[in-house]
Copies of this chain bind each other. A is one copy, B any other.
């Protein structure tokens, strides 16, 4: 996953939204297609919690990206027409400076000395990329999952860029069920003795806590209905634990175990803690004192909100709340409620449902 992205290094102190600063941090990004004018055809993507900037393959990196079927010639994010930018979130561990990186002022790894991270900071790091590319305007800002909240922060703080906004399976702020899920995931990690107050051995990280957190993640990324159709009460013989009597009979248990195995070692534990907490902290209402005030700061030509009925993490009523708020300030606003059964992750795995909708918004 540690792919070579383009990177800019910021000059001097990058002051954080809730205090503190980063000394000359890096921001990683990738681009596809050819820029026209000062951003007339620029599409900027803010990602969910875990992806890198490698959203699609490119001559420099031919491996498949996390949105490979969405970005390219003839695809909804048509690289014959658009200049597509994907930014690796500040605080992440795929090129942008995060808690796993060295603080140049101390020579040590940031770990828990990294300042409180917010999605406003992630958005500002994206804005630094916009500046570095000399853009004066953005055609469309896209945000998926956590990235949808980052996109809101970005558009609220930079109305001068104008353009359109596309929010996918996101919300205007986190609600208590999602906060509780993420809080418990973080607790699983910090209660792993190997986390050691954030000072874990990088070769021996708190894998047990990370695996538990990943499994809970999968439960909220997919949907009960999908698993019912896919697994039912199917049994599989698999040695999951030394204590077989309590585990491993059911196909769904093996599925989660395999997913945890695949994910292990891919994401730094401290970076995860910071980004997870940032997702809890975001609230559009903090931009002006109320949701309405926050929405009123937007300067968009068009907006679209796409959500999925089976999403547990960003439920469909939050899509409606977001679309309602947008429609009060952006005349051309559309809400699309998709009946996909694969839950929150549908935008990554149910391309047949998402491609036509996103293609229509960008056509």
Contact = CB atoms under 8 A, between A and B. Distances in A.
Interface of A: 112, 116, 173-177, 179-181, 183-184, 186-188, 190-191, 193, 197-198, 208, 212, 215-216, 219, 223-224, 227-228, 230-233, 241-243, 245-247, 249-253, 256, 273-274, 276-277, 280-281, 283, 312, 315
22 contacts: A176-B232, A176-B252, A177-B219, A177-B224, A179-B252, A180-B219, A180-B252, A180-B253, A183-B250, A183-B252, A183-B253, A184-B215, A184-B219, A186-B246, A188-B188, A190-B243, A193-B193, A197-B242, A197-B243, A212-B212, A246-B274, A249-B281
A247 B315 contact: no
Contacts of A250: 176, 179, 183, 280
For this chain, the copies found in one complex come to 2
Contacts of A190: 241, 243, 246
Nearest to A175: B228
B233 A198 contact: no
A233 B283 contact: yes
Contact of A227 (B180, B224, B228, B312): B180
A253 B246 CA distance: 29
Contacts of A180: 215, 219, 227, 252-253, 256
A276 B274 CA distance: 33
Contact of A224 (B198, B249, B281, B315): B315
B174 A233 contact: yes
Nearest to A116: B245
Contacts of A315: 224
Contacts of A281: 249
B231 A176 contact: yes
Contacts of A247: 183, 186-187
Contacts of A175: 224, 227-228, 232-233
A179 B173 CA distance: 30
Nearest to A181: B219
Contacts of A176: 224, 227-228, 230-233, 250-252
A184 B245 contact: no
